[in-house]
Amino acid sequence: DADVTQTPRNRITKTGKRIMLECSQTKGHDRMYWYRQDPGLGLRLIYYSFDVKDINKGEISDGYSVSRQAQAKFSLSLESAIPNQTALYFCATSENRGYFTDTQYFGPGTRLTVL
The Cα 63–Cα 30 span in angstroms is: 25
Shortest separation between residue 107's beta carbon and other proteins, angstroms: 5
8 A C-beta contact, residue 25 and residue 106: no
Query: At closest approach, how far in Å is the CB of 85 from other proteins?
Result: 19
Positions in 11-50 near other proteins (CB under 8 A): 40-45, 48
Closest distance between other proteins and the C-beta of residue 59, in Å?
A: 9
**Contacts to other proteins from residues 59-98, by CB under 8 A:** 90, 92
The rounded radius of gyration (Å) of the Cα atoms in the chain is: 13
What sign for the dihedral angle of Cα 60, 66, 68, 74? negative
Distance CA 74, CA 5 (A): 11
User: Which listed range, 17-25, 60-68, 73-81, 101-109, lies at the site for other proteins (CB under 8 A)?
Assistant: 101-109
**Residues that bind other proteins in the complex, under the rule CB under 8 A:** 4, 40-45, 48, 58, 90, 92, 100-101, 103-109
